[in-house]
A = this chain, B = another copy of it.
């Protein structure tokens, strides 16, 4: 019997990445998870990532510290206020202030390095067409360009012994479809953390873009969100 193929899954601790983890498991991959402590204000998501990694019995979960906050420029890592109660039109109008410059590029690159040491050539990332709401590094073209880079940037790519795959199984799904998919796969969404601006107890605000998209997703899926709100 062959050993199962390994996958490195980017696990933020949110709804999308936990669903992605469940999809990787469903596809028969052995799970390795990576999270980032990058100076985000919503650090409760790292606790969520730890809970999820344990619930999914991943082989190893690493949390890599990298101080992207040193650069500023995003409401997620600096003193800029997280916008609340924006309409869908507002969310879609421009790249939001919650965009962290080059975040997914840094995360995928680091995951690539780890995967290379594991003899693994499958990465999973939970980007999707609704959630990006203007984030450049959540689009299919970005994922495709990163895959091309991976095949040039690595030992295994150069030697032709690996064929990097960057799986983005949510990319074409609406938030409602993601919630239905994850529910069918047994994801306990009570464990996940989505809010960009939780209170001190870690309770979600219900009003930032991330909370609004999440709540709409559950509503449209005809399900109720088990997460705790303020």
Contacts and interface: CB of A to CB of B under 8 A. Distances in A.
Interface in A71-89: 71-73
Given A66-B66, A142-B149, A101 B113 contact: yes
Given A71-B117, A117-B71, A136 B148 contact: no
A38 to B, nearest CB: 10
Interface stretch (A152-160, A185-193, A216-224): A152-160
Contacts of A114: 71, 101
Interface residues of A, number: 43
A137 interface: yes
Contact of A67 (B65, B68, B116, B117): B65
Interface residues of A, dominant DSSP: helix
Contacts of A149: 105, 142, 145-146, 148-149
How many copies of this chain does the complex contain? 2
B106 A113 contact: yes
Contacts of A116: 73, 101-102
A102 B109 contact: yes
Nearest to A106: B109
A155 B104 CA distance: 13
A132 to B, nearest CB: 11
A75 B65 CA distance: 21
A48 interface: no
A143 to B, nearest CB: 9
B105 A109 contact: yes
B67 A101 contact: no
A163 to B, nearest CB: 15
A103 B72 CA distance: 23
Contacts of A68: 110, 113
A70 interface: yes
A141 interface: yes
Among A103, A117, A149, residue most surrounded by chain B Cβ atoms (within 10 Å): A149
Chain A to chain B: the 5 pairs with minimum beta-carbon distance, closest first: A102-B113, A73-B117, A101-B113, A101-B116, A105-B109
Interface of A: 62, 64-68, 70-73, 95, 99-106, 108-110, 112-114, 116-117, 136-137, 139, 141-142, 145-146, 148-149, 152-155, 157-159
